[in-house]
A and B are shown apart, each in its own frame.
Chain A
Amino acid sequence: MALESTLAGLFPNGTAHYLLGGLLIGLGTVFVYALTAIPVGASTFLESTLSYVSDRQRFAKYRASRDWRVVFSVGIVLGAAAYAFTLGEGPWTTDVQPWRLALGGVLVGAGTRLGKGCTSGHGVCGVGSRSRTSILNVATFLAVAIGTAQLVAAVGVTP
């Protein structure tokens, strides 16, 4: 009874879909890794795709991987679509304001590339590899994100 109410407090929307989703994210990563030995991440796609349109040296080093990174990202889009339009609850849109998405996006794009990875590269593959670099990066972005979100909410920005 006490455990039940604690769980309900921590996970008011249940735990099953989080666990199942996390398992599938892990399995998608492992599927690619088992066949290619590549620990795949989502944010390198940003720079590798820029190499199609920019001659900057910084992006040129991702030319060798840019094609498959497009394929992986298109897979993510279509996988999410396949679920949403069949077993899921159909399309939806976010209420978070465009300026938050755009400005946050700029910081996410810059920060993930500067920091060598994101929630998938560092958070899933790096932590799964028990990499000290990844664990330090994840601890940093988690702490800053929690502080930022709480601050934004505290000054009354919703949604």
Chain B
Amino acid sequence: MSADDGGHPLFLPAVFVGGLVFGVGLAVSEMARPEVVLDFLQFEDFGLLLVMGGAATVSGIAFAVAERAGGTAPLTERAYARRLKSFDSNVLVGGVVFGAGWGLSGICPGAAYASLGVGNLPILWAVGGMFAGAYLQGWLRETVGARSGAGAGAEA
């Protein structure tokens, strides 16, 4: 069907189950609540550090073990590798813009999808905004970035 799944019949079910567990985690940890994220950012409850740190620890152990073991994944034939992205100024500029948005709204992409699942309809404002922002940066990078010669091809 697409380059990523290689047509294995269990690829999409596996991704779906992973998404389900991920969504349960976002709901259990209350990261789907903008108020809880804002409480963390205002130093009233440091729970978010346990959530992100806990999740990064679990994935970090798995990534390290998989990379050391080598081989390829059963459903995609892809080699196990860590998530490494090239560094450039976009990483910092993007971090600043994302941080301003996260601090203003208390919501990030995965948490916004989860929030929709618990019936938090006002979060559609945020989801709509995210699509608009993603479109805006794509448009800016193609028009302004292409004209100045910067930005194009910067992503590895």
A interface with B by C-beta (< 8 Å): 10-13, 15, 17-40, 42-43, 45-47, 49-50, 54, 56-59, 63-68, 71-84, 88, 91-96, 98, 100-134, 136-153, 159
- List B37-52 residues whose CB lies under 8 Å from chain A: 38, 41-48, 50-52
Q: Which residue of A lies closest to B121 (CB)?
A: A93
**With A11-B47, A84-B118, A104-B129: A37-B80 Cβ-Cβ less than 8 Å:** yes
A101 touches B98 (CB 8 A): no
Q: Which of A59, A80, A81, A110 contacts B136 (CB 8 A)?
A: A110
- List B6-40 residues whose CB lies under 8 Å from chain A: 10-12, 14-35, 38
Give the secondary structure class of A's interface.
helix
- List B82-125 residues whose CB lies under 8 Å from chain A: 82-87, 90-123, 125
B53 touches A22 (CB 8 A): yes
**With A33-B62, A78-B117, A130-B60: A104-B107 Cβ-Cβ less than 8 Å:** yes
A79 touches B20 (CB 8 A): yes
A21 touches B28 (CB 8 A): yes
- The range of chain B's interface size is 35 or more
Find chain A residues with CB under 8 A from B138 CB: 47, 50, 54, 56, 58-59, 113
Q: Which of B23, B86, B100, B139 contacts A56 (CB 8 A)?
A: B139
Q: Which of A45, A114, A128 contacts B97 (CB 8 A)?
A: A114
Find chain B residues with CB under 8 A from A106 CB: 101, 129-130, 132-133, 136
Looking at A50, A146, A151, the one whose CB has the most chain B CB atoms below 10 A away is A146
**With A18-B51, A76-B117: A150-B34 Cβ-Cβ less than 8 Å:** no
Q: Which residue of B lies closest to A40 (CB)?
A: B18
A-B contact list, 9 entries, CB within 8 Å: A24-B25, A33-B80, A35-B75, A72-B15, A105-B125, A119-B109, A125-B63, A137-B95, A159-B35
